[in-house]
Chains A and B, each alone.
Chain A
Amino acid sequence: MDIQDQSSESASPGVMLPDTTLAPVLLTPDAVPYAIEGDRTYKKPSSPLQDSLRRLRRDKRAMVSIGVIVSFIVLALIGPPIYQHIGGPYHSNLNGVVGPSQYHSFSYQELGQNTQDQLPSAHNWLGTDEIGRDILARLMQGLLISLAVAVVVEVVDIVLGVLIGVLAGYYGGWIDQLLARFTDLMFAFPGLLFVILIAGIFGNWADTNLSKIPLVGPNGNARLLLVSVALAFTTWPLMARYVRGQTLQLKEQQFIEAARSSGTSSWGIITHHIIPNLFSLVIVVATLDISNTIIGEAGISFLGLGVQAPGSSIGLMIFAGSHFVDTHPWEVLVPCCALAAIVLAFSFLGDGLRDAFDPKSKD
């Protein structure tokens, strides 16, 4: 994707930045696709995908959002090796001298009295929480969890949503009926209620049983798996509905008819003609879903039903901090702002992608 893109834009050196000199001319890229760029000659007309990416690159808000998202992802990924070294050693009554690499792992929680509730300093960049843990370290752990849940949920969402949506749209019949009834049912469950119920009722069971799965392991990840599955379960019907609608439209188009008349099997049509054409829709819906998923996970953890105490999650940090609103508002403001930033970034990116892929939908 990237390489193709660069070749088409090879005339301008600053590929990644929106070209401000051209921006006023191209205010309505949908009206005049690419003919207006006069002095720049192309060997071949650019593909719709390239057009979309170019429109996206001109969208300042979306580009800033990508920057924010990438920096959060980097922060989350480099977190584990780095937060081991944040904060100096402290002297514990029970365990002697404990270094930072130990107390950020789950087993050490009791820290010295003098390190609690501190404001940002050179030592703790974002301050410390109510039991003296470094907030930046907690935040990095929490971000990793938010993003991991988002990835798991989106994978399930896309696979199930596309598969069932395409089948329902292409074949119709009982699978379509079943999907319609099921989505009605899931929409009747108000928002997070379903996830709250699943996480609340089966949480303890998951802690003891699901943690036996090798990849999941202990440390409360099992509950997270449960929350992810429940979240995915509530998001895929909407994806399937969108995909179904698009498939119904695509099915009637002439190139499908041409493919069918030249003897392509149904399976071939679905995999080679319909699914590739769903790409932009799925990307947009999935990006917008990510912010809902992150809010969902944080919300469930905030209610005390997701990640459990020694573990860290943005929602859990907000909940812990909310007890000290009057004395240490800092501790709740940091995770709140981080969550707001990441959610806004994904929303803006989703909006930008939608405008880029389908300029007519704008406004």
Chain B
Amino acid sequence: MLQFLTKRLIGLLFVILGVTFLTFIMGYFAPGDPIVQLLGQHFSPAEYLQLKRAYGLDLPWYQQYYNFLKHLVQFDFGYSYQYKNRAVWDILKDGVPISAELGLWALLIQVLVGVPLGILSALKANSWFDTTNMGVTLAIYAVPVFVLGILVQVAIVWLDQHVGFGWPAANWGTPWTYTWSDIQFKLFPILVYAATGVAYFARLARTSMLEALRQDYVRTARAKGMTERVVVYRHTFRNILLPIITYLGYTISFLVAGAFFIELIFNIPGIADITLLSIQNLDYPVIQATTILLAVVVVLGNLLADILYTVVDPRIKVA
């Protein structure tokens, strides 16, 4: 177990190093001179050199990368190009809790709604419930998240106008507080955000459940006269946990990509929103920080899936 973990951690370190290098080199070769952008129209050459030195941009690339890594280890992302004298972390700190809240709720709903839906579908295979469930989830899974988001927004606005629904179609309440108005703000973005994952887990749980129900041990359990409830929840459920956990790490990557669209459509000031804004402003330190942050989230998600995997199935320890 320990050996496996260390091996995984080393691999993880390697991947994160690769990500930092890619993001660094992208910023390094990026067109445009951030110093000129900072100084505006009128500046003297001396001012230019001074500022360039202050940001450490006069060094050769490998030294810049080394400094970049050194600061990164200390969780110091440097200073923004766009907003002078503002640390990158200062810009990010409002967005991180919002995105984390959005993501965690979505992750929770994905599993807690998707998996039971899939199991129910498998238990009633080929019934009308199963057919409609699988049809709807397939459509939701295939349709891009921004189309889904906009369609929901259209529906909310229509309900507001014609039925007097009175719900907000955009914006976000106070992070991590749940008064009625906060819930009104948060409910639909979270549901849309989770929808793709719900569909995915429903389909995954159905397939795995059907396969598990065909196994010999299920027949044996039934032959012994066990109730259907015990067969399903004691025997098969544990076995379908394995693929679900594997894909839990995988869906985090989907969630991170989806955040860009959800936060744009519903006007949520999260970390993806900040990334998009800093891409418009070519504010590389912020872009680099958010990219690395998001990549670390994905990589940690995969690691968590690996660890949970060994917990659920002890045989995998040796791998």
Contacts and interface: CB of A to CB of B under 8 A. Distances in A.
B31 interface: yes
Interface stretch (A52-60, A86-94, A212-220, A331-339): A331-339
Interface stretch (A123-131, A132-140, A166-174, A195-203): A195-203
A108 interface: no
Given A329-B154, A332-B150, A363-B210, A197 B142 contact: no
A201 B279 contact: yes
Nearest to A294: B144
A188 B15 contact: yes
Interface string A308-345: 00000001001001100110010011001001100110
B282 A201 contact: yes
B257 A181 contact: no
Contact of B279 (A192, A200, A339, A344): A200
B253 interface: yes
B158 interface: yes
B26 A322 contact: no
Contacts of A187: 253, 298, 302
Contacts of B264: 302-303
A184 to B, nearest CB: 5
B253 A190 contact: yes
A295 interface: yes
B30 interface: yes
A347 interface: yes
State the majority secondary structure of interface residues on A: helix
Contacts of A322: 150, 153, 265
B23 A191 contact: no
B26 to A, nearest CB: 6
Contacts of A304: 280
A264 interface: no
Contact of A329 (B144, B157, B298): B157
Contacts of A193: 256-257, 260, 291, 294-295
A347 B138 CA distance: 9
A180 B126 CA distance: 40
Contact of A303 (B15, B210, B253, B276): B276
B30 A201 contact: yes
Given A298-B144, A336-B151, A188 B26 contact: no
A343 B144 contact: yes
A196 B253 contact: no
Contact of A336 (B27, B147, B252, B294): B147
B295 A197 contact: no
A16 to B, nearest CB: 25
Contacts of B151: 333, 336
A185 B295 CA distance: 10
B254 A191 contact: yes
B184 interface: no
Chain B interface extent, by class? 35 or more
Contacts of A298: 144, 146
A326 to B, nearest CB: 5
Given A192-B257, A202-B31, A344-B139, A339 B144 contact: yes
B167 to A, nearest CB: 13
A303 B32 CA distance: 21
A142 interface: no
A302 B26 CA distance: 22
Contact of B169 (A202, A325, A340): A325
Q: Which among A187, A188, A343 has the highest number of chain B CB atoms within 10 Å?
A: A188
A363 B204 CA distance: 10
A118 interface: no
A336 B147 CA distance: 6
A190 B26 CA distance: 16
Contacts of B280: 200, 304
A198 B291 CA distance: 12
Contact of B150 (A196, A205, A295, A336): A336
Contacts of B254: 190-191
Nearest to B252: A190
A325 B267 CA distance: 14
B16 to A, nearest CB: 7
Given A299-B260, A302-B264, A325-B150, 15 more contacts: A188-B18, A188-B295, A191-B256, A196-B260, A201-B287, A204-B31, A291-B142, A295-B144, A315-B146, A318-B147, A322-B153, A322-B265, A326-B169, A340-B147, A343-B142
Which 10 A-B pairs rank lowest in CB-CB distance, beginning with the nearest? Answer: A191-B257, A200-B279, A190-B256, A205-B31, A185-B18, A295-B144, A347-B142, A190-B253, A192-B257, A336-B147
